[in-house]
Structure 1
């Protein structure tokens, strides 16, 4: 058994690699850390070792820029000969970084790491390089190729090439090199910690989604392929290949053997965002075939486009146009590749291990959702949001997941202080840690909001412990989809729904009114539902509870106006949260994401309107007002086309009261098309 030394363990790939090593290998993992980052590392160590690996991850204080990484000589003497694998991941993975930063981190850092590896007598030095080492090579670039005279168009490309050269020529111990492609988030969770690669385009995609109908095609150019791999694949492949016998002195491409077209990749994220997609009327059948194929590679459209992107005039234009959307010109020129990366050796070693590159379409939505809920900085850059929320205490119920969780993160982005309320204390504390790691402040107050005594205790505690309460977001709620015929013996469904959605919500607000009035007022945001306006069948319990909350707020708002306490009702459209996941019929209808719902809540907190409705909700309400009989006929068609929930049907079958419908898939499709745009639940 041998131990490990890891640099860059707190970085994105490093964190995933440490998990793999802990799960699959024995021995102690020594991880390099600056003295000022020990607190952050302690949090990661607690996360890594929560499953029973206590004591296996040990920090070693040092600095990438110091000779021998600045590790104490006594520590080196004590551990010499015990390190079997030295993984060097600490580096700059940023095409926008300048020469000095790239040189210090990628070149000098690699030399310093090699000195330490030599002093420790490490068994193998594992260098994490990049496909950028291939530069703008045109054609197939194999794992055995290295210095082929390829152009290196940026400091990033140059230093990745040079650091790999240093390992090849100067390593005092056996070495292996790994060249990942563009690394994106975890294919299982979407987790990512920085903006890089395709993520630079996400704000543009979001803006397109929020301003244009999804059916409008946009013009795109099909120039070349890109290559994207998820971080979990990279970490698993490095762990597996790093321990394969007889592979020292080799380089391995950790790339997708079936690369995606650049526009295809962008369209997958557009689809995940429900944004317009790009059409390519001139694709590679024309741009790389026929007479054009006879041209020298440097004169083909893809090469001319790349050359134009790198030119100074084009850079100036891009900086003043797409650069304002957060897309650096350096990134635009390197989304696609001139080289085709042959990963045959890596794939052969991984064969039979179960480690494969998943298709991007299988996890693109996870990547988008994680970015939108965690990395999107729209709220952080919103001056109005900062002015309205900075330093303000915002009580958010149902904060442990879905809309409440995203809203809390957005409030913290704007400088607000989210006060997190829900039943699950562990989830609330995890959200609190996330907010605090991002530089914010949050407080946790677990409470069962269906328990009146618990609500009274909560309001008393909030009033005593917080200096003031500026906002309350009533987000916690219960939804039941069950027809009245199947509810005749289940009156408790109506009682439970009303208890949480109405009585629990108003009891909370009533308990906080004295504190808000005492400290100058406050604003309450109630998350209602479009079902109140559209009156969709099977939601009688849910819609009634939300309608009661709407009416109460409208009346009380006038009474408390003089105390500076106001209300906003958001009649939210259908949101893709875990609450609607069991209802498969929703897959046929348009929905918004929790992050989009969170943006609506932020708007309500900042602008404080009396109500926020969607166009589809207003249309539904107008239809009921202008033609109530027609509205009921249309909704009865929907009622007969779609069944009750699985839980409702199971109960009905057991009590022999099942609804007998003759719905067909064609009826369902017809109703889905007819009612498209009526996003009625939350």
Structure 2
């Protein structure tokens, strides 16, 4: 049976990969892509690059921060009569975002999308993309069935995504909803392709600077037993699309995180060995690893201070529900170690591309 999709957040990296997966694995009748008017030209250019398909798509200029998504009443009602699946990915992903902007886009925007969803006549599924970091400063095991636990937040991004997920939980009482909580998304596990050198790539930024400095030894500046929370984009989109079309996914929240994570020290060590072919060692610089080194890392190694705080929260996202419901699908999160070669190779080939760096 053919499905009609309404998707927010194009032309982000995750949404582009999601479209590929939907088209490859489902019978698509029509795909409506809600794009902010200021991003329309960029979206069209990106769409041409992606080369997904020809006459089954339509860009819908709109704004999730506006009531009714900035759409005419007639268009909105026409969409609500035809759409079967809604994927809401549009959000501000910026750890240093200002409070007002984060609230307007991530919270108010989600509220407006929820209202649109509740008016869809033949809705089969509403999939809301949250983040594993709605857990804030909680430590220990974080379960998929948990959300409101009096946690505090490290930045306005986290808080706004938490408040948005609370709204998605309320919507779940009225419509078939699936909530996806990805970890820190990295490039494709097989090709290494990514659009931004953020997240785990901050380590590669550091290692590249060490290479430029011609250091004889790579300093071990990441220490401790805190787990990394990095997950390849192909696993996220494959799992999300599968769970969003299977009945078992209705009413559930999924951690799409690495079920067998390595510690941050292990991740750093493996990347150093893959990229520089050197095992990090304790040096004079290693003594200053921690908060006192943050300013240096931020200025000289393109590591944001907000990102560094994620190396200090000892939390593990339990993904038992996701692993169980994906059982039999053939979709599993690849071992981080097995994806190192394409990640390091892609970074090496594109390290001069300034558009891939957070500024």
Global fold match (TM > 0.5): yes
What's the CA shift for 1:265? 0.9
For residue 218 of structure 1, give the secondary structure of its aligned residue in structure 2.
coil
Q: Which residue of 1 aligns with 2:161?
A: 160
1:323 and 2:325 matched: no
In 2, Cα distance between equivalents of 1:165 and 1:81? 27
Higher helix share: 1
Q: Give the C-alpha shift of residue 64 in structure 1.
A: 2.4
Offset, 1:95: 1.4
Could you tell me how far 1:197 is from its partner in structure 2?
A: 1.1
Equivalent-residue separation in structure 1 for 2:259 and 2:281 (angstroms): 25
Quick check: 137-146 or 255-264, which moved more?
Answer: 137-146
CA distance in 1, matches of 2:251, 2:312: 29
Q: What's 1:363 paired with?
A: 339
1:337 offset after TM fit, Å? 3.9
Cα distance, 1:189 vs. partner? 1.3
Where does residue 253 of structure 2 map in the other structure? 251
CA contact (8 A) 2:80 2:116 kept: no
Query: Secondary structure at 1:195's aligned position in 2?
Result: coil
Match of 1:340 among 301, 307, 316: 316
Three-state SS of the structure 2 residue aligned to 1:97 is coil
Q: Deviations 1:282-324 (Å, cap 9, x if unpaired)?
A: xxxxxxxxxxxxxxxxxxxxxxx9xx84xxxx6xx733x2221
Cα contact 1:226–1:336 (8 A) shared by 2: no
The answer as to whether partners of 2:35 and 2:61 remain within 8 angstroms in 1 is yes
Q: Does the 8 A contact of 1:208 with 1:276 survive in 2?
A: no
Give the match's secondary structure for 1:3: strand
> Per the alignment, do residues 276 and 209 of structure 1 end up closer, same or farther by CA in structure 2, a change over 3 Å counting?
farther
Query: Paired residue for 1:111?
Result: 111
Separation of aligned partners in 1, 2:21 and 2:3: 16
Aligned partners of 2:227 and 2:261 also within 8 Å: yes
2:19 counterpart residue number: 18
Aligned to 1:169: 170
Change over 3 Å in CA distance of 1:343–1:167 after alignment to 2: same
Give the 3 Å change call, closer, same or farther, for CA 36–155 of structure 1 in structure 2: closer
Distance 1:248 1:266 in 2: 37
Separation of aligned partners in 2, 1:185 and 1:277:
23
1:78 aligned to 2:78?
A: yes
Deviation at 1:375, TM superposition (A): 4.8
- Cα contact 2:207–2:276 (8 A) shared by 1: no
Conservation of the 8 A alpha-carbon contact between 1:2 and 1:82: no
Aligned counterparts of 1:216 and 1:152: Cα–Cα separation in 2: 33
Q: CA deviation at 1:87?
A: 0.3
Q: Is the CA contact (8 Å cut-off) linking 1:132 and 1:156 kept in structure 2? A: no
The alpha-carbon deviation at position 144 of structure 1 amounts to: 0.9
RCO comparison, higher one (Cα < 8 Å, 6+): 2
Offset of residue 199 of structure 1 = 1.7
CA distance in 2, matches of 1:223, 1:143: 22
TM, length-normalised to structure 1? 0.48
> Superposition pairs for residues 42-191 of structure 1, below 5 Å?
42-49=44-51, 53-121=53-121, 122-170=123-171, 172-191=174-193
Aligned length: 346
| 1:214–1:349 Cα change, 3 Å | farther
The alignment's TM-score, normalised by the length of structure 2, stands at 0.88
Cα 1:208/1:173, change in 2 over 3 Å: same
Are 1:217 and 1:276, in contact at CA under 8 Å, matched by a contact in 2?
no
Aligned to 1:354: 330
1:37-79 C-alpha deviation (Å, 9 max, x unpaired): 33322233334445xx321221111012211221222212223
Is 2:226–2:315's contact at 8 Å kept on the other side of the alignment? no
Q: Which stretches in structure 1 are left out of the alignment for 5+ residues?
A: 282-304, 381-412, 414-433, 435-682
C-alpha deviations, 1:234-286, integer Å up to 9, x for none? 000000011111432210000111011101111222122216433479xxxxx
Query: What residue number does 2:231 align with?
Result: 229
Q: Which has the larger radius of gyration?
A: 1
Q: Tell me if the contact between 2:217 and 2:281 (Cα under 8 Å) persists in the aligned partners.
A: no
Which residue of structure 2 lines up, in the alignment, with residue 677 of structure 1? none
Aligned partners of 1:220 and 1:4: how far apart in 2? 43
CA RMSD of aligned residues (A): 2.4
Judge conservation of contact 2:218–2:281 (CA < 8 Å) in 1: no
| Cα distance in 2 between the residues matched to 1:91 and 1:15 | 14
For residue 103 of structure 2, give the secondary structure of its aligned residue in structure 1.
helix
